[in-house]
Amino acid sequence: MPDLQPSAERAVRALERATSAAECKPVPEIVVASRDDIAVLPVEVVRVALDRVLMGPSPEAGLDALLDGGVLPSILPEVHAMVGFGDGEWRHKDVWKHTKQVVAQAVPRIEVRWGSLLHDIGKVKTRSISADGEVHFFGHAEVGARMFDKLNKRMPLFSAEETLRDEVRFLILHHLRAAQYDPSWTDSAVRRFAKEIGDYLDDLLCLSRADITTKRPEKKRRGLRQIDELAERVAKIREEDARVPPLPKGLGTSISARFGIAPSPELGTLMRALTVAVESGEVPAQQPPDVYLDFLAANADRFGIPKR
């Protein structure tokens, strides 16, 4: 380790204590680092330590150690603001406890773990109480994404990894989307959801599963089933969309012109019969229209095509 000023040494020891706690190693005595101590460290050193805390087998212990050592308020005040927010006079879960549980339940992928840590930072700024005493956090995902932008400007933890930065922001902004799924969604709605989420789908679904922290077993099972059903529907629709259609586009128009069959249920029946013929190997798939027109002409009696 390079020669460090005393303040930097305190900061490093506080971070090392947190990584030890997260990695289930012997934890030394508490070392409290000030904001000035932390400011001495290169941002890369801080980021490596935070990654180790989040990716350790006991991230909850590591996060508590960051709090005890004064690191959390210095590096991530947006996260520190969640400590003790809730579970008191207001009727909603303690956001800090919830966040730690979400991180611990999340799959150990760095994108998902960072998304888990930051997904609810917008709640502190959006809490409202309705006339009937219900607590709301309207727009907290959007507010949280903007807070993440400011966080990264203040301490550019992700400046060297734009891909990671973009995904973490995306997960914060959209972390509620999968939980909004309902079985009544049409295939078109599921298709739109999958298209909007794009390459982040798997990580978003993982975060959504981790975000279920209810202590009621049946409610948790129901929430997990809901997300699994969404994942299955997306996979099925993607598989169907990836299939090459057996018949070329515009074939129905060509059949109408050749055999004088107007667009009608009769034409639809004929197209389905052609599809079956392709699937059974009688005629190849995705050929020029004339191939199918000649096939129909040669089997006019079989397909009920009137002679012309």
Domain extents in the chain: 76-180, 251-303
Q: How far apart are CA 269 and CA 279, in angstroms?
A: 15
Higher local confidence (pLDDT), 127 or 6: 127
pLDDT exceeds cutoff 80 at 3: no
Predicted local distance difference test score (pLDDT) of residue 72: 96
Predicted local distance difference test score (pLDDT) of residue 2: 47
Higher local confidence (pLDDT), 303 or 77: 77
Predicted local distance difference test score (pLDDT) of residue 88: 58
Q: How far apart are CA 65 and CA 17, in angstroms?
A: 7
Predicted local distance difference test score (pLDDT) of residue 7: 77
Q: What is the mean pLDDT of residues 233-253?
A: 89
Reduce the secondary structure of the chain to three states and give it as a string.
CCCCCHHHHHHHHHHHHHHHHHCCCCCCCCCCCCHHHHHHCCHHHHHHHHHHHHHCCCHHHHHHHHHHCCHHHHHCHHHHCCCCCCCCCCCCCCHHHHHHHHHHHCCCCHHHHHHHHHCCCCHHHHCEECCCCCEECCCHHHHHHHHHHHHHHHCCCCCCCHHHHHHHHHHHHHCCCHHHCCCCCCHHHHHHHHHHHHHHHHHHHHHHHHCCCCCCHHHHHHHHHHHHHHHHHHHHHHHHHHCCCCCCCCHHHHHHHHHCCCCCHHHHHHHHHHHHHHHCCCCCCCCCHHHHHHHHHHCHHHHCCCCC
Q: Are 95 and 89 in contact (CB under 8 A)?
A: no
**163 CA to centre of own chain:** 14
pLDDT exceeds cutoff 90 at 150: yes
Q: What is the mean pLDDT of residues 89-114?
A: 91
pLDDT exceeds cutoff 70 at 195: yes
In tens, the pLDDT along 219-231 reads: 999 999 999 999 9
Predicted local distance difference test score (pLDDT) of residue 189: 93
Give the angle 100-105-110 at the CA atoms, nearest 5°. Answer: 85
Contacts of 270 (CB under 8 A, 6+ apart): 255, 261, 296, 303, 305
pLDDT exceeds cutoff 90 at 133: no
pLDDT exceeds cutoff 60 at 80: yes
pLDDT exceeds cutoff 50 at 1: no
Predicted local distance difference test score (pLDDT) of residue 6: 54
Hey, what amino acid is at 118? L
- The widest CA-to-CA distance across the chain, in whole angstroms, is 98
Q: What is the model's pTM?
A: 0.80
Cα atoms found within 13 Å of the Cα of residue 248, Cβ hemisphere only: 15
**Cα distance from N-terminal residue to C-terminal residue, the chain:** 91
Predicted local distance difference test score (pLDDT) of residue 92: 67
In tens, the pLDDT along 158-174 reads: 988 999 999 999 999 99
Q: What is the mean pLDDT of residues 151-160?
A: 93
Q: How far apart are CA 190 and CA 116, in angstroms?
A: 24
Structure tokens at 182: 């309902």
Q: How far apart are CA 219 and CA 223, in angstroms?
A: 6
Higher local confidence (pLDDT), 3 or 136: 136
Q: What is the mean pLDDT of residues 244-255?
A: 89
Q: What is the mean pLDDT of residues 290-295?
A: 91
Higher local confidence (pLDDT), 261 or 306: 261
Predicted local distance difference test score (pLDDT) of residue 306: 75
Predicted local distance difference test score (pLDDT) of residue 304: 84
pLDDT exceeds cutoff 70 at 89: no
- CA-based nearest residue to 275, from 267, 288, 285, 266: 285
In tens, the pLDDT along 8-44 reads: 899 999 999 999 999 999 998 998 999 999 999 999 9
pLDDT exceeds cutoff 60 at 200: yes
Predicted local distance difference test score (pLDDT) of residue 308: 61
Predicted local distance difference test score (pLDDT) of residue 281: 86
Predicted local distance difference test score (pLDDT) of residue 5: 54
Least confident among 2-6, 111-115, 182-186, 199-203 = 2-6
Q: How far apart are CA 88 and CA 51, in angstroms?
A: 31
Question: CA of 203: how far to CAs of 23, 112, 172, 268, in Å?
Answer: 23, 6, 11, 41
